[in-house]
Amino acid sequence: MMIRNALLRDIAEIEKFNELWLQEERDYKRYLDDPNTIFLIAEDKNKRMVGFTSATYSSWNNSVWLNQIVVHLDHRRKGIASKLLVEVKKFAESRKARVILIECGIENKIAQLFYLKNKARICGYNDRYYPQTQDKGTAIFFSIDLAC
């Protein structure tokens, strides 16, 4: 498995992942041009995309926000998401960020366990975070504290 920076040619495949698992409206192209955002692709040995992540640095509170981390169902439980998260941590550390912030639906127990396994801690809840058109319920927030 290889992790590399996302390119414009990857956007169509990323949007397919989004349709399958996230079903969110996102402008992935904007991540490519944002100097405060890291946008990474995980590829298998055949150079097929098996996952991606992006994270954005905010100077006002010296934090990095994990925008999303997605791994194809056929490639889960192989350490890919953990490797992507390690790269996000490196990005955050390069910015001397104090923390990585993560949002997750409260019903997404698999993601919650993943974040906890990767040294995140629960730092809050918001029962008004998601639009009323979505039946996702409450958001749970995690943080990964970094040594600045």
H/E segment holding residue 52: strand 49-58
Partnered with residue 74 across adjacent β-strands are: none
pLDDT at residue number 22: 67
Q: How many domains does the chain have?
A: 1
Q: Looking at the whole model, is its pTM more than 0.85?
A: yes
pLDDT by residue (tens digit) across 14-40?
A: 888 777 766 677 788 889 999 999 999
C-alpha to C-alpha distance for 85 and 91, rounded to whole angstroms: 10
Q: In this structure, what CATH number is given to the domain that contains residue 132? A: 3.40.630.30
Which of the pair, 134 or 76, is modelled with greater confidence? Answer: 76
The whole domain housing 121 covers 2-145
